[in-house]
């Protein structure tokens, strides 16, 4: 296990676990948290043995309550002489990551915490978790969060969350497809492990190349996406994992993935 002041990183088997360790502050986001999560993503991506990333919060009260407002309005940005901001750069790092990222939502997921949730590829939530975008209650709007939420949930649901600022429960979040699975709190780890197991027995090469392709075609037209993907299937078929997968299928055995 390695750690910064406020984010823990631990390799558990084939998963890199990133934990926001600010339970007393409802795992709110500050500069150290943004840096720590980014570092955890980079550390996982650089380790060939890591097949997936889990992002969670310490304790059982909050996944992440959003920006730490104890420092005032500076929580929403520092030097505007810079063309990019730290939270946006964290979202960029997650978007560029080719490993599956799973959010383990152990409690309240609010404001910037919704951005952390939405930047993940999948999510498992405890049934007591609540979700919301309360920024309008303090005179701001979830601007950067919109970048990762707008393609995740239906526009009417997104508008209601943003404009009313009112939270929803885990069952509603599941219906909105903010999360993949909702379980009792005592089953959260087991469900997270179940989802990880469904990743670990698949080709890491196919997953990496697949995430790359999905990100690339997100803003393409149909014809552009089709032209791009018809070349990518041929490239993927040339990998060692593809050869192993076909051989294993033919020989009626489990594949042994090399990730190459």
Convert the pLDDT of each residue in 49-102 to its tens digit: 999 999 999 999 999 999 998 866 555 556 667 777 899 999 999 999 999 999
pLDDT digits (tens, 9 = 90+) for 112-126: 999 999 999 999 999
In the structure, what pLDDT confidence band is assigned to residue 5 with cuts at 50, 70 and 90?
confident
Question: Per-residue pLDDT averaged across 121-143, rounded?
Answer: 96
| Cα dihedral value 55, 59, 64, 68, nearest 10 | -130
* Mean predicted confidence (pLDDT) in 166-171: 98
Three-state DSSP class for residue 5: coil
Q: How many CA atoms lie within 13 A of 81 on its CB side?
A: 1
Distance from CA of residue 95 to its chain's centroid? 9
DSSP string, 110-160: ETHHHHHHHHSSEEEEETT-EEE-GGGGGT---HHHHHHHTTTS-HHHHHH
Q: Running DSSP on this structure, what letter comes out for residue 4? A: -
pLDDT at 227 over 70: yes
Give the long-range contacts of residues 217-223, CB within 8 A, separation 24 or more. 218/151
- CA 258 from chain centre, in angstroms, equals 25
Range of lowest pLDDT (67-71, 136-140, 215-219, 256-260): 67-71
Pick from 34-48, 78-92, 192-206, 209-223: least confident: 78-92
Strands 108-110 and 130-132: parallel
Distance CA 107, CA 131 (A): 9
3-state secondary structure of 98: coil
Residue 71 CA to residue 54 CA, distance in Å, equals 28
Mean of pLDDT over the chain: 93
Contacts of 210 (CB under 8 A, 6+ apart): none
Phi then psi for residue 18, to 5 deg, are -110, 120
Q: How far apart are CA 55 and CA 7, in angstroms?
A: 10
Contact 140, 76 (CB under 8 A): yes
Average pLDDT over residues 208-216: 95
247: pLDDT strictly greater than 90: yes
Mean pLDDT of 36-55: 96
In sequence order, which residues have a C-beta less than 8 Å from that of residue 60 and are 6 or more positions away? Answer: 106, 107, 126, 185
Residue 238 confidence (pLDDT): 93
Q: What is the pLDDT of residues 11-37, one digit of tens each?
A: 999 999 999 999 999 999 999 999 999
**Is 90 exceeded by the pLDDT of residue 144?**
yes
């Amino acid at each position: 296990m390695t750690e910064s002041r406020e984010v823990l990183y631990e390799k558990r088997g084939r998963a890199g676990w990133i934990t926001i360790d600010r339970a007393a502050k409802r795992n709110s986001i500050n500069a150290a948290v943004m840096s720590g999560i980014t570092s955890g993503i980079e550390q996982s991506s650089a380790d060939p043995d890591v097949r997936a990333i889990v992002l969670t919060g310490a304790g059982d009260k909050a996944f992440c309550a959003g920006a730490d407002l104890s420092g005032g309005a500076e929580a929403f940005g520092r030097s505007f002489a810079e063309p990019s901001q730290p939270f946006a750069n964290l979202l960029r790092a997650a978007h560029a990551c080719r490993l599956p990222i799973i959010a383990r939502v152990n409690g309240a997921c609010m404001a910037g915490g919704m951005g952390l949730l939405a930047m993940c590829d999948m999510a498992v939530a405890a049934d007591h978790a609540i979700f919301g975008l309360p920024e309008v209650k303090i005179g701001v709007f979830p601007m950067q969060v919109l970048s990762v939420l707008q393609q995740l949930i239906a526009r009417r649901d997104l508008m209601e969350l943003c404009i009313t600022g009112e939270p929803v429960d885990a069952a509603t979040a599941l219906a909105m497809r903010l999360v993949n699975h909702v379980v009792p709190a005592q089953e959260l780890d087991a469900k997270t492990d179940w989802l990880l197991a469904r990743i670990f027995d698949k080709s890491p090469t196919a997953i990496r190349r697949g995430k790359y392709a999905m990100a690339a075609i997100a803003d393409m037209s149909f014809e552009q996406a089709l032209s791009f993907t018809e070349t990518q299937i041929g490239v993927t078929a040339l990998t060692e994992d593809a050869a192993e997968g076909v051989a294993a299928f033919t020989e009626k055995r489990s594949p042994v993935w090399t990730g190459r």
